[in-house]
């Protein structure tokens, strides 16, 4: 997970909880799909683990 965060930092991508502020969405330099990507990627990684338990 730390490597994932470092890679995002190198590519200037903020984490979802840092950027998802409804009042400031118009100030984002990155496209909104990046905000949707983070929870989607984390959910995709968590999904196989849920089926095992």
Per-residue pLDDT tens over the stretch 3-52: 665 665 555 655 555 545 555 555 556 666 666 777 778 777 777 665 55
Between CA 3 and CA 19 the distance in angstroms is: 20
Q: Which two tokens stand for residue 16?
A: 């979802």
Between CA 44 and CA 23 the distance in angstroms is: 28
Q: If you ran DSSP here, which 8-state letter would residue 42 be given? A: H
For position 30, what pLDDT does the model report? Answer: 60
For position 45, what pLDDT does the model report? Answer: 76
Between CA 45 and CA 36 the distance in angstroms is: 15
pTM over 0.85: no
Between CA 40 and CA 3 the distance in angstroms is: 17
């Amino acid at each position: 997970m730390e490597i994932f965060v470092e890679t995002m930092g190198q590519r200037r991508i903020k984490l979802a909880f840092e950027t998802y502020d409804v009042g400031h969405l118009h100030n984002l330099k990155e496209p909104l799909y990046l905000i949707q990507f983070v929870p989607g990627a984390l959910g995709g990684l968590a999904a196989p683990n849920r089926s095992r338990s």
